[in-house]
Structure 1
Amino acid sequence: MRPGDSFSILNRGKVSFDADTFSLLYLPIIGRDAFGLYQLLRVFSTGKISHFLEYLDFGLNPFIDALDKLSGIGLVRVFDQQPGYFLEVKSPLSFEEFLADDFYKQLLISRIGENKVQALAQKNEPNALEVTKKFHEVYSVKFERSSKLDQPEKFDLTSFKSIMESQHLTFSNENQDILSLYSLAEKFDLNWYELFKAAEQTANADKTLNIANLARTLAGKSEPVPSLSEFPKGFQDLIVISKEVTPADFLSKLKQQTGGFASQEEMKILNHLTKQNIADQVQNILIHYVLIQQEKSSLNSSFVNTLANDWLRHKVYNAEAAVKRILEHQQKAEEKQKNNKNHKNQRKLVKKAPEWSNASYVNTTSAEDIAKFEQYKASRRKDREEK
């Protein structure tokens, strides 16, 4: 987007606008630049992007940031058709609609605080009998049941909080957690129940939501999984098995094959990995790597934790990614070993250093030779002075 690009408002004059609602509810969220830009979008029809910059007295980057804030909160839609843009301005929610929406309400709380939002939400009801008619009491209309399959399902915070309570889960920071849940539901296209199941699996040991782990897990699941055919045959079988058994059973069976047994300390290590939200299938690959490929007799907490941290940093969330990480590590180790071998085999031509540079060198010059050299230096100085 450049100052010289043209713009055209698609629906000028078709926007309902309540200045009080926009100032009290939207301004704290979108900020002054976006607030001013929205006012111009309501009255402009066509022109250049530079017109906005001149009226608002700021540069292109603040303009783009303000436009993004408006589009992000649903107040404008932007269509790129070079050499210009089409803009559709959307009407703000009414006062009641805004405060009845859990997401917008939480967003406003994050800006001005819960007490102020509660004060804004207070309604002055008259001390009188309400005689307002219901719609069905006045109008006789036959409704056809419409399908909602083609409409995106909005995140249902009420249902999410209800099931949280039934499962004794709590928020770590309610306001920030709720905003993050809305964002994750939209980003990964999840309904409230799908998001809850993921949040439940990634919760902290004290039953509080761990939004960071939740986001990391969802991001991992959204990554494309490589085909089994991309891995060596032995690893293909390992990947399949890793998804069928629990880490405790997998560890016990491997130990039995070697005539050993799973110790209490090893079970504690597995419990710790689970608390770090490392998937069972990833734990099984880790167990196999330590006991079989590294030929360790048992799991060592220090070694396992180092490996687990490395995998988490490299977004290893499934068995395929774990095996891929192992193969990458093996390839680097082989290349390093090969380079070291080549380095040792190379013969370097090194110029022989003078004997006097050796620390063990002993000066055997005679007194007579030293006297002659001093005499030579004196004669050279005399010659230079005469010149």
Structure 2
Amino acid sequence: MQDAFFKLDPRDGFAVTAADYLSDFDRQVLTYLYQPLMGTGAYSLYLLLWTQPTTVQVQPHSALLALLNVDLPTLYDSRIRLEALGLVKTYQQVTAAGRTFTYELYAPQAPTAFFTDDLLSLLLYDAVGEDRFDQMKAQFQLHPVKASAGWEEVSLSFLDVFHVNSQLLAQPPATIAEAKSTFQTTTQANQPQLDQRATADFDWPFFKQQLQASFVSVRELDHYHDQLLTLHALYGLTELELARYVNESIDLNTNKLDWSALKRLVARQPTKVAPTTAPAATNEATATTTTQTDLSKNDQQLIAVSRQLAPVTFLTQLKQQQGGYVTDSEQRVLERLTSRHVFADPSIINILSHYVISVRKMPTLTQAYVDGVANGWLQHHVTTPEAAMKEVKSFYRQKQAPKRNSRTKQPLRKETLPDWAKDGYQAPKQKVTAAQRAAVQKRLAALQDNKDGE
């Protein structure tokens, strides 16, 4: 988070405004549904901004740092998490007096929208587990009265109770019209949106045109806009293919898109080679980059294949070569990485999959390891598959480099064998005197006397 010191300074001013009305129920949704996703730091920052006066009063960020008792990188990380979840929009203004930020607060999505949002519900599921997820789903589930259960509604309507002047209703006063114009706002989506990089090769109006004769509404398609584009990027689907799958996944009883059925249908389809849409200029830049990085022929072939296959297709073929298969959790890992659109070129995701499965010899893609590699590549400004391959090679050059021994080599001590241990040793001959011979004879006689006396 070294970028935090360049993008934020404690002396920078900030002001707070609100785009939505925030209620106590919003606080409950924020605590139970959003807090597991954003963490305690971002949760505390949102609540603190909530309590700030929504005026033009400008304060330094050092006030936030002191109230939260955190450092600048932590504050910046908390802010971008709120931005990613659609809870805060940040606006910047630079003048001669300095830099000022305005934080516009948005209410969390209602539980009905949260649990039908594939990205948010999937993140919550991964964060808290299946049991806790089911508990929170039951906690926020509504239980309306069903007329078919023998209950009859006897509620009175508005005009049954209140009487309104018909003339005023036909011609409202100017003040009423002014108030209506003031408070009439356009609906804004709070959920994270895919940027233009992920949608450059997908014609959304043409896609919707293919579904005009179907039962699904345009509003329903717009609601699943980001998720549909994620499927396109993940599986390499064209507009016509995705429209066909959507048409087969519509619930005819409700005319709603069954998102779970759509995902299962797409996942069951045989993998295919996605058409290459890179222009000639891109190919020339790729060739130049390849020359600069001195990639081998095998590396160039791998990059060419990674540009032609969608991430799920690439991983499927990679696992099949090794006798394995793509698990549901691996599909979720790729889906999450694609939906975050951290890499503009999907072929980088393919190089990452090859690195984990074929180079590191890991049986499956895991979320923690993939996030670690992706973060490392982002910090090294990896924007092309050639740069990703260079990162892999650089890592292994460091691993294979001989390590210097920090210890100073001590001279080996040469052991010298004693003379008696050497081959062919003969004891030196010594002359025996008459006195020594007499002493030996005397001792032998004494030993003989002791033996006879026993």
TM-score with structure 1 length normalisation?
A: 0.40
**Which structure's CA Rg is the greater one?**
2
TM-score (norm 2): 0.35
